[in-house]
Every structure is written in structure tokens, then in C-alpha cells.
């Protein structure tokens, strides 16, 4: 058994997402386990190189994580043949230019979402990478969450029967900075920096609903900005010029509809910050990020409607919780393992840049639908 190392440039390495998910929950555990096992018995050892603009901050961060390499010189890192992969975890604005620079240097690219600011840019990247024989990938982590993983298992086992409809509810109250500091960075609310609820969350809604319900063929959406004034991290007021609330309907193959409500200006009265319910002829299921409940057709209650008295039935108690019966691997790590194996073994990567282009396609369709107040069809994309 041999161990092969592979250098991975991580731009935006000090960001929360890069630190918590891609390093602490992915790279470091793989390294601690002696590398990623390969089909031939060898192991692949990721060697992250942390890249950013602040040398002092990078040095301290690299040391706290175990002594990783770090650099403020992206060009030098790209010129190193030992660094075969470029991963972008920096802000959305400028992602295409950064990815293009890495492609031009002959690197495989792995990107946080959204992969680009437009469908045209995303498709151009995907086509150029294919022409150069380079692997691409986009982060699709949410199906690795325990609640959604249980929902996927139900779908695979044929639990639902014929699908009827679905409903996805997401959001919470993001403070504007007057009473409490905001729980999201200010760039999320600025168009010039790649902000907006559609670009931030609808890439997730696409792969989640397509995996569980089917391909999206059309979308109808209404987009709005509910809180147009906020206070940034430095205590400075600014104008919000992107949406913070979206109501949408996806039409899937066979005419099945998914209603999607997403808001950063709503208060929660449900089981989780995100819940997804799927109704089928043979049964229904609803999940949050960690828990999942089912109600099969044979155990569906028959509630009584009474205008004179409060509802006496406890509806929640009529659902059965899906137990923890199999281990669930972190979704970020799953994505990296697929991507790394695609590079060194030629295995199929289920989340290539084409998937990222489809995410952007949905976002653009949502904006177009809201602007023109109509349904917008989604064409099939081919690289």
C-alpha cells in the first residue's frame, strides 16, 4: 500500500465555511485516518494550502489547525505542480475570475455555490474544463444532513408510491443590527458582492428537490426585499439592494409541484429552520435538518372539523419518527471524497460544474419569473 499526496489550494481559507466544514470536518479527519482509501488499496493524502490576504491571520490560522502551509501569493501557489486542485471558498463576487485563473493554470477546480454569477459564465467554465480534461465540482452538501439522508432512503425504498406534491419551508429572523447584530454577513445583502437569498439558497433547493421529487422543468417565483436598511459589522448603516424573501413553485417531471418559501425576515414556528414535506399516495414524510417523521397511508388519521370547539386531535403524535439506523457521513466530506476519486481513479463525480450551472439557471429563472410575473421553463443543459 502506497500513500500519494495531493496539494489543494483553499482560497478564502479563514472563512467560517472553509474552516468548519472543509477543513475541520473533511480534510483534517481524512488526514488523521491516514488518507482517503482508494480502490487499489493505496491512500490519498490531501495537503491543504491556505490562501488569503492577511499574512498574520493566515499564519495563526494555519498553526491552530495543525501547521498547514499558507500563502498570500495565489499565483505562486497555482504555479506549483504539486497543487493539483483549486478550491474557492471566498465570497461569491469574483468567483468566476478566480476559477478561470485556476483553469488557465491547469488545475482541477472545486467551488462553493453559486459557481458563477450567470448561467453563461458557469457553462463557459464547464465547457473549458472539459476541453482541457480537467475535473470540476461544486459543493452539494445538504443531502448529507441526517434528516434529508433519511428522506432519500425513504425515496429509494419506494415508500411514497406515486408522488403527489412537496413543500419546503426555510428561514428565520436575521436581525438588522439595531437590537442585535445580524447573524449573517453584510455581503449577503449587497448585490455587488454576490448577495441575495436566491443565489445563496436556491442552488440547495434545486439539488434537494430534484433528488427527492424529480427534475425541475419550470418555476414561478415572487421576490421581495422586506428589510431594506441594515447595519454592517462595523456598525455602519447600509441599504439592502437584494431580496430577503422568496415564494416559489417548482414544476417537476410528471407535473408534481413543490412549494418553496424562503425568508430571512420570518419568525420560526415549526420543528426546524428548514422543513421538507413530501406527500405520496402510499405515505407522507416530513424532515428537518436532523429528524424525519413518516405517516403511511394505512395509519393516516381522519380528523374532524368543528367550528365550535378547538381541534382536539394532536396531529404531531400521529407521525412516527424514522430512527437512527445507519451512519451518516458529513455532506461536505462526501463531496470531497467523490471529487478526489474522480481525479485519481476516474470515477464519476456526481456534482460537476454542470450541476453548478443548473443551480445558476434556476436562480436566473426565479429572477426572470418575478420580474415578468410568469412561469419560466428550464431547458436541459449539456456541456
Q: Which three cell numbers stand for residue 170?
A: 426555510
Q: Does 186 lie in the same domain as 249? A: yes
Q: Does 56 lie in the same domain as 160? A: no
Phi and psi at residue 88, in whole multiples of 5°?
-110, 115
Specify if 375 maps to a domain: no
Specify if 378 maps to a domain: no
Q: Does 182 lie in the same domain as 116? A: no
Domain that holds residue 302: 143-327
Q: Does 153 lie in the same domain as 122? A: no
Report the alpha-carbon distance of residue 65 to residue 23 in Å, rounded.
Answer: 8
What strand order describes the sheet that includes 320-321? 320-321, 292-296, 283-287, 274-280, 163-171, 257-263, 245-252, 216-224, 376-377
Q: Does 338 lie in the same domain as 277? A: no
- Which residue intervals of the chain are DSSP H helices? 16-17, 28-32, 55-64, 74-79, 95-104, 119-131, 146-156, 197-212, 331-345, 353-372
> Do residues 258 and 272 make contact, with C-beta atoms less than 8 angstroms apart?
no
**CATH code of the domain in which 189 resides:** 3.30.360.10
Residues in CB range of 76: below 8 A, 6 or more apart: none
Q: What is the pTM of this model?
A: 0.94
Q: Does 47 lie in the same domain as 35? A: yes
Phi and psi at residue 136, in whole multiples of 5°?
-130, 155
pLDDT score at 327: 83
Q: Does 68 lie in the same domain as 151? A: no
> Do residues 48 and 69 make contact, with C-beta atoms less than 8 angstroms apart?
yes
Look up residue 133 and give its DSSP letter. Answer: T
Specify if 369 maps to a domain: no
pLDDT score at 92: 84
Q: How many domains, the chain? A: 2
Specify if 177 maps to a domain: yes
Place of cell 388519521: 301
Specify if 39 maps to a domain: yes
Smallest CA-to-CA distance from 110 within 370, 334, 365 is with 334
Q: Does 45 lie in the same domain as 62? A: yes
Contacts 24+ apart (CB under 8 A), 58-61: 58/13, 58/14, 61/13, 61/14, 61/19
**CATH code of the domain in which 21 resides:** 3.40.50.720
Q: Exposed, middle or buried: residue 292 (CB in 10 Å: 0-12, 13-18, 19+)?
A: buried
Specify if 54 maps to a domain: yes
Q: Does 317 lie in the same domain as 338? A: no
CA angle 372, 173, 267 (to 5 degrees): 95
Q: Does 247 lie in the same domain as 134? A: no
Per-residue pLDDT of the chain (383 residues; tens, 9 = 90+): 799 999 999 999 999 999 999 999 999 999 999 999 999 999 999 999 999 999 999 999 999 999 999 999 999 999 999 999 999 999 888 999 999 999 999 999 999 989 998 999 999 999 999 999 999 999 999 999 999 999 999 999 999 999 999 999 999 999 999 999 999 999 999 999 889 999 999 999 999 999 999 999 999 999 999 999 999 999 999 999 999 999 999 999 999 999 999 999 999 999 999 999 999 999 999 999 999 999 999 999 999 888 899 988 999 999 999 999 888 899 999 999 999 999 999 989 999 999 999 999 999 999 999 999 999 999 999 98
Specify if 336 maps to a domain: yes
Length of the chain in terms of residues written: 383
Q: Does 148 lie in the same domain as 78? A: no
Q: Does 223 lie in the same domain as 312? A: yes
Specify if 377 maps to a domain: no
Distances (CA, A) of 288 to 105, 124, 291: 41, 36, 5
Amino acid at each position: 500500500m502506497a500513500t500519494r499526496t495531493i496539494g489543494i489550494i483553499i482560497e478564502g481559507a479563514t472563512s467560517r465555511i472553509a474552516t468548519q466544514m472543509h477543513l475541520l470536518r473533511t480534510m483534517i479527519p481524512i488526514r488523521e485516518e491516514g488518507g482517503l482509501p482508494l480502490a487499489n488499496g493505496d491512500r490519498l493524502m490531501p495537503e491543504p494550502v491556505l490562501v488569503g490576504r492577511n499574512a498574520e491571520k493566515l499564519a495563526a490560522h494555519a498553526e491552530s489547525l495543525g501547521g498547514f502551509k499558507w500563502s498570500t501569493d495565489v499565483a505562486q501557489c497555482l504555479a506549483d505542480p504539486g497543487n493539483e486542485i483549486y478550491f474557492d471558498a471566498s465570497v461569491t463576487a469574483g468567483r468566476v475570475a478566480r476559477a478561470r485563473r485556476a483553469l488557465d493554470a491547469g488545475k482541477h477546480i472545486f467551488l462553493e455555490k453559486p459557481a458563477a454569477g450567470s448561467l453563461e459564465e458557469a457553462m463557459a467554465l464547464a465547457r473549458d474544463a472539459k476541453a482541457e480534461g480537467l475535473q470540476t465540482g461544486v459543493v452539494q452538501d445538504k443531502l448529507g444532513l441526517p434528516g434529508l439522508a433519511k428522506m432519500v432512503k425513504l425515496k429509494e425504498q419506494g415508500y411514497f408510491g406515486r408522488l403527489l406534491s412537496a413543500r419546503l419551508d426555510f428561514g428565520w429572523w436575521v436581525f438588522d443590527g439595531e437590537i442585535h447584530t445580524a447573524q449573517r454577513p453584510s455581503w449577503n445583502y449587497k448585490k455587488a458582492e454576490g448577495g441575495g437569498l436566491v443565489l445563496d439558497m436556491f442552488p440547495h433547493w434545486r439539488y434537494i428537490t430534484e433528488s427527492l421529487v424529480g427534475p425541475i422543468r419550470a418555476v414561478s417565483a415572487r421576490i421581495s426585499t422586506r428589510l431594506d436598511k441594515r447595519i454592517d459589522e462595523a456598525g455602519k448603516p447600509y441599504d439592502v439592494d437584494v431580496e430577503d424573501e422568496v415564494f416559489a413553485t417548482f414544476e417537476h417531471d410528471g407535473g408534481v409541484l413543490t412549494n418553496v418559501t424562503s425568508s430571512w425576515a420570518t419568525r420560526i414556528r415549526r420543528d426546524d429552520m428548514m422543513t421538507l414535506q413530501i406527500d405520496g399516495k402510499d405515505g407522507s414524510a416530513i424532515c428537518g435538518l436532523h429528524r424525519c417523521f413518516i405517516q403511511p397511508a394505512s395509519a393516516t388519521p381522519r380528523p374532524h372539523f368543528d367550528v365550535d370547539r378547538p381541534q382536539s386531535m394532536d396531529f404531531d403524535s400521529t407521525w412516527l419518527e424514522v430512527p437512527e439506523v445507519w451512519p451518516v457521513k458529513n455532506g461536505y466530506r462526501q463531496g470531497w471524497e467523490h471529487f478526489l476519486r474522480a481525479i485519481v481513479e476516474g470515477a464519476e463525480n456526481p456534482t460537476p460544474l454542470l450541476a453548478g450551472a443548473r443551480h445558476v439557471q434556476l436562480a436566473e429563472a426565479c429572477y426572470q419569473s418575478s420580474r415578468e410575473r410568469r412561469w419560466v421553463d428550464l431547458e436541459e443543459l449539456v456541456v
